[in-house]
Amino acid sequence: MNDLSPLPLVSDPQTTSSSLQLLVLSNGHGEDVIAGSILQELQKQSHPPDIYALPLVGEGKAYHKLDIPLIGSVRTMPSGGFIYMDNKQLIRDVRGGLVQLTWKQIKAVRQWVKSQQKLGQKAAVLAVGDIVPLLFAWVSGANYAFVGTAKSEYYVRDEVGLLERTKKGSARWENFSGSIYHPWERWLMSRSRCKAVFPRDSLTTEILHTWKNIPAFDVGNPMMDGLEPRFPTQNLYRGDGELKEMERPLIVTLLPGSRSPEAYANWEVIMNAVSELTDWFREPELVTHTSKTIIFLGAIAPNLDLNTVCQSLENQGWRSYTESPIQIPDSHILTFKQKNAYTILTQNAYNECLHLGDLAIAMAGTATEQFVGLGKPAITIPGKGPQFNPAFAEAQSRHLGSSIILVEQPADLTKKICSLLEDPDKFHLIAKNGVRRMGKPGAAKRIAECLLEQFS
């Protein structure tokens, strides 16, 4: 664990401005990134607020990149923020000082609000994540807004009605009060000091509107912002248009997640699936609808050790190759070849991996959702966690609907992909489903503008 020293709670009274003072609370790396996208849009406004942050989980690296000062104590806990997935992780965090850290953070938030009020400033809190930062925002005593990243009505229903009860997760229990958001969460969202709630999709907003005191705004999902590729993805191959189409390989994006050591274990599972798929792709009687070349794009998080990932490839017979079959805007890519298949590893071209892939083999949270949001199918395989375990994978498949194909074992993946490739109509339906469930880009800007209006 790493306990960082807090920065001062407020600026010098002689230098504070009269603009809105905004404290952002978030509880996880993904939530930090989402909050950061909103804050960047706030900073572009003609009268931006003075912004502070308190990451309730982790060290808040996304805030450091934006030069946003932190208040209170921040610490990386053993679970990495996934205590709701596993009671053992909760016990580890409690032993690691979770209770003491939480109490310190609550006091820091209340002290920050009181300090701003004593200076005659208008203070507000933006909570990003789940009930934890929302509860902190309510306890603060200031006006607040909530960006709900963790819940969607799609977990329990679709546009037709409630989903059937599942074996590994009870949609009925999650919806026992008529919404994926429980009564105590809706109570926090309906307080007079709660000025805005930003659900992650239109269906969730629609359900929350049945409670008239909840100020829910349907402005989209900031998770889909900032995913534009740095080059036109159609300019991949050499030669004329007909040759390009004939030689077009199947491109499969690999998403093992970003948490160490879990991502390395996920990568081993994914590579077993890749071996099954490449063996199938060499059978000429099976591959009649596309090129016999298959390219795997490994989107490896920058914090992971690339040598460990490469070793796994080499253990399965892949050999280093000097020339990449497609153009990737990363001078540090590593290319491997095995007969008619290529694997390209990149730590700097995440957006391109999402856009170039025809489909994904995924064992990740946010990355899988973003891939699906671009209108593409993802085949997921449950891992051992703490994040991408069977319960998480099952819930994700309910959330993302037809865009997710959940398989129990790597060996089951090839048949699913074969069936999918032979059904172009299903690809079309998946594209529409993904955009509907994840929303269109531009939500961060819309949230920023709405926040200033509601807090004014």
Which CATH number fits the domain that encloses residue 330?
Answer: 3.40.50.2000
Question: Do 201 and 333 share a domain, yes or no?
Answer: no
Find tokens 């407020």 and name the residue.
10
Alpha-carbon distance of 233 to 97, in angstroms, equals: 47
- The tokens describing 216, both together, are 């829910």
Q: 294 - beta bridge partners? A: 250, 341
Instruction: Count structural domains, the chain.
Output: 2
**What is the pTM for the complete model shown?**
0.85
Question: Do 389 and 298 share a domain, yes or no?
Answer: yes
28 falls within a domain: yes
155 falls within a domain: no
Question: Do 248 and 373 share a domain, yes or no?
Answer: yes
171 falls within a domain: no
Alpha-carbon distance of 251 to 323, in angstroms, equals: 17
Alpha-carbon distance of 313 to 311, in angstroms, equals: 5
Q: 380 - beta bridge partners? A: 362, 406
- The tokens describing 115, both together, are 């300090």
Question: Do 420 and 297 share a domain, yes or no?
Answer: yes
Question: Do 263 and 146 share a domain, yes or no?
Answer: no
Question: Do 260 and 288 share a domain, yes or no?
Answer: yes
Q: Look at residue 412 and give its three-state secondary structure.
A: helix
What letters, b where the CB count within 10 A reaches 16 and e where it falls short, cover 182-214? eeebbebbeeeebbbbbbbbbbbbebbeebeeb
163 falls within a domain: no
Question: Do 33 and 128 share a domain, yes or no?
Answer: yes
Roughly what angle, to the nearest 10 degrees, separates helices 424-438 and 366-373?
120
Q: What is the pLDDT of residue 98?
A: 55
Residues in the chain: 456
295 falls within a domain: yes
311 falls within a domain: yes
Question: Do 248 and 146 share a domain, yes or no?
Answer: no
Question: Do 77 and 104 share a domain, yes or no?
Answer: yes
257 falls within a domain: yes
172 falls within a domain: no
Residue 303 lies in domain: 241-438
Alpha-carbon distance of 137 to 35, in angstroms, equals: 15
Question: Do 273 and 391 share a domain, yes or no?
Answer: yes
Question: Do 213 and 361 share a domain, yes or no?
Answer: no
Question: Do 354 and 393 share a domain, yes or no?
Answer: yes
CB neighbour class for 133 (10 Å; exposed up to 12, middle 13-18, buried from 19): buried
DSSP code at position 162: B
What letters, b where the CB count within 10 A reaches 16 and e where it falls short, cover 147-166? bbbbbbbbbbbbeeeebeee
CA nearest neighbour of 143 among 166, 159, 126: 126
Q: Give average pLDDT by consecutive 10-residue segment, the chain, 456 residues.
A: 44 53 92 95 96 89 93 60 50 54 88 95 96 96 97 94 66 80 97 98 97 96 93 54 58 94 96 91 58 89 94 95 91 94 96 96 95 98 91 94 94 90 92 95 97 95
What radius of gyration do the chain's Cα atoms show?
23
